[in-house]
Amino acid sequence: MRTLHPGHPGALFLAALLCLAALLAAGTPAARGQSENGDEEVVYIGQDGVIRVWDPTPVNGREVQWVSPSAGWIDLALGDFNADGDFEIVAIGADGATGKLAVFDPVVVGPAPNPDQVINGIPWDTLYAVNLPGIPSLVATGEFDTARPGHEIIYKYLLPVQDRVKPDDPFRFVILRAAAAQPDGRSWNVLTTQDTGNDWTQVAAGNLDGSGIDEIALVDRERGNLSVYRVTANGFERFYRNSAQERPWQAVAFGQFLAGGPAELLAVRSADSPLANLLAFQYVADTLDDFYSRFFLPPPKFVFLADVDGDGDDEAAMLRVVRPEFEPRARLFIRSNNRDDWMEDTLDADNGYRVGAGGDVDGDGRDELVIMRDNRLRLYTQPEIDVSRVEREVGTNEHSIQIANLDANGVGDRPRLGAAPTTLSVELVANAESDPYGIAVSDVTTGSAVPISARLESSVAWISSLSLSRDTTPTTVEVRFNARDLPLGTHTTRLIVEAEEAGVDNSPLFVNLTLTVRPGLILDPESLNFHYVPCGPNLPAQTQALHVGGTAGLSYAATITDEAAWLELDQASGTTPGTVLVTVNPNDRPADFVSTGVRVVASTEQGVVEQVARVNLLCAASQIFLPVIAR
């Protein structure tokens, strides 16, 4: 027999329980960081070769009105190149017989790097500029090196004759990555290159296989070729090809066409019935499987993705040319993986609209659509409902348009609300309640004390508590989730944090809250502890009840995880909610401290679920109580 002392496993077990209680009382600490400004901006190239930003929803009147300091730009793409949480612009252009590439930061937080680099009171900067030996034609961004934060750049240019490794491969793709482990957008080196004989007309990147590294899709409209590649240290490795000049591929887009999981690839082609001309591909067994296909007459010429109803999966928006004999068919239309009755619009009879992009330009959690022609941008403000729109009469290059958040970190030194995390997703077993989660809210630009309030966008029973640690920034919003009597599946709402005074950017601040309820078991308590103090011979048996809850109506069975002659189970099977009786006989113990588990297993439509409750038996000569000193 022994005395319970601080180093004994039983004492450690009790100390762990005290620590757990203290953690629950304090709440779960949240990582610090900056939240995104909800609205996104439209970036396009004008008819004059100048890059411009359209900010349809200025934040507190601070409109991003950036224009590039020079012309001659051919194409652009957006990415977070300095890993600061907002997006920058990479552009390619022509400079005589050679080319150029530059990275611009249209919204710099803090002092202007140059007094001349301020537009509408917002500082901007050129992070990188380089001359190219040949004229470029394509540029895109992606995640090609997960060891370094931020996005990488891929571009294609025409090789000078003297630089060609093979005469039949006159084009070269180059992938640039940040030169440093902590990127600043100012220094780059080459990750890999690939020479090709195809004059590809589109490049896009997305993660099809779930590895975290993007794949590359290339389209050649002239030869009808669609090919998909992995990026390797030695160039591109093709794992999918579909080529037919009589039914040429026109355009591709990566996105979340199916909710959850890796991205899917959508592609459109010029094909006649009975062949489909919209296809959605997913990665299966090292190739692509077209799990969704549709035929349209006339066929679509361009496709882009947008989550117009904010439900977590993207819809496919398409543009096509409609000749007079097919009037009045829509030139712009939307389809999703489970619905066809979306908004359609006939547009202009001259078929001027050829490209578009999707993004949340008003910060409401749902994407809007922007389409472009030679002299106009058209923004559909609620495409999930109707054709409501606003237009901007501008000259464009007709093909370069992107949407992303350029001012996520604010547009100056005014107070700006930020949250970490910006989304909170919790998974619970049916009828379970979560520990408290903390969402840190602060003024991310000046660090000042901003009076705020917090509320839910819609009243939901599955948020059991919502509280502020203090009513001025910095503060923590504590949220507790509750799956009691809640149907299985995913439930969403938004936390709204608002400044109680004017002049604060990103107010209201939105944080998406998601609760996924899955079938499963809940054991109460999570551990059963049997103590015999003082220890001696002929000790009586003790019985405790282990309550089995979770999804109601599950048939369960309980077993002992290890061979333990000192432990018996009664009422070991039943239907939730139920009770398993756990009895220990200390006289059969092999040692003064023994531990095992009770495993409870049940079958659901989604598979087998199980939970284990620990059972600890401690026999000690005496127990010493020590004072707790709080500091």
pLDDT tens per residue across span 117-147: 888 878 899 999 999 999 999 999 999 999 9
Find the mean pLDDT for residues 586-612. Answer: 90
186 shares a domain with 76: yes
Question: What does pLDDT average to over the chain?
Answer: 90
Residue % of the chain over a pLDDT of 90: 77
Domain count along the chain: 3
Q: Among 483, 503, 518, which residue terminates a domain? A: 518
The predicted pLDDT at position 120 comes to 83
548 shares a domain with 495: no
93 shares a domain with 175: yes
453 shares a domain with 478: yes
The predicted pLDDT at position 313 comes to 96
506 shares a domain with 428: yes
193 shares a domain with 80: yes
Name 443's Cβ contacts closer than 8 Å, sequence gap at least 6: 415, 416, 417, 418, 449, 450, 473, 474, 504
User: Does the pLDDT at position 6 exceed 60?
Assistant: no
Phi, psi of 444 (to 5 degrees): -85, -5
Find the mean pLDDT for residues 441-462. Answer: 89
From the list 279, 276, 273, 305, the residue with the least C-alpha distance to 292 is 279
Q: Among 146, 180, 197, which residue terminates a domain? A: 197
171 shares a domain with 148: yes
The predicted pLDDT at position 20 comes to 30
The predicted pLDDT at position 34 comes to 34
User: Does the pLDDT at position 23 exceed 70?
Assistant: no
From the list 371, 359, 448, 364, the residue with the least C-alpha distance to 406 is 359
Find the mean pLDDT for residues 504-512. Answer: 89
193 shares a domain with 152: yes
CATH classification of the domain holding 479: 2.60.40.10
174 shares a domain with 86: yes
Domain membership of residue 592 (yes or no) is yes
DSSP strands (E only) in 159-297:
171-178, 188-196, 202-206, 215-220, 225-232, 235-243, 249-255, 264-269, 278-284, 287-294
Query: Which domain covers residue 577, as residue numbers?
Result: 521-619
**What is the spatial distance between Cα 225 and Cα 334, in angstroms, rounded to a whole number?**
25
Domain membership of residue 163 (yes or no) is yes
Find the mean pLDDT for residues 203-216. Answer: 97
Residue range 44-102, pLDDT digits in tens: 999 999 999 999 998 767 899 999 999 999 999 999 999 999 999 999 999 888 999 99
Q: Among 167, 197, 227, which residue terminates a domain? A: 197
The predicted pLDDT at position 2 comes to 28
User: Does the pLDDT at position 510 exceed 80?
Assistant: yes
Alpha-carbon separation of residue 111 from 121, 327, 445, 499, 541 (angstroms): 11, 55, 12, 25, 74
509 shares a domain with 421: yes
User: Does the pLDDT at position 205 exceed 70?
Assistant: yes
* Residue 168, burial from CB neighbour count under 10 angstroms (0-12, 13-18, 19+): exposed
Higher pLDDT, 30 or 293: 293
Which pTM does this prediction carry? 0.64
Domain membership of residue 272 (yes or no) is no
192 shares a domain with 105: yes
User: Does the pLDDT at position 4 exceed 60?
Assistant: no
Residue range 269-283, pLDDT digits in tens: 999 999 999 999 999
Q: Are 302 and 399 in contact (CB under 8 A)?
A: no
Higher pLDDT, 522 or 360: 360
Higher pLDDT, 445 or 310: 310
Taking 3-state DSSP, the helix, strand and coil percentages for the chain, each rounded to the nearest 5, stand at: 5, 50, 45
What's the pLDDT band for 8 if we cut at 50, 70, 90? very low
Domain membership of residue 250 (yes or no) is no
User: Does the pLDDT at position 560 exceed 60?
Assistant: yes
Find the mean pLDDT for residues 357-374. Answer: 97
The predicted pLDDT at position 13 comes to 36
Residue % of the chain over a pLDDT of 70: 92
545 shares a domain with 503: no
Phi, psi of 123 (to 5 degrees): -70, 150
Find the mean pLDDT for residues 206-212. Answer: 96
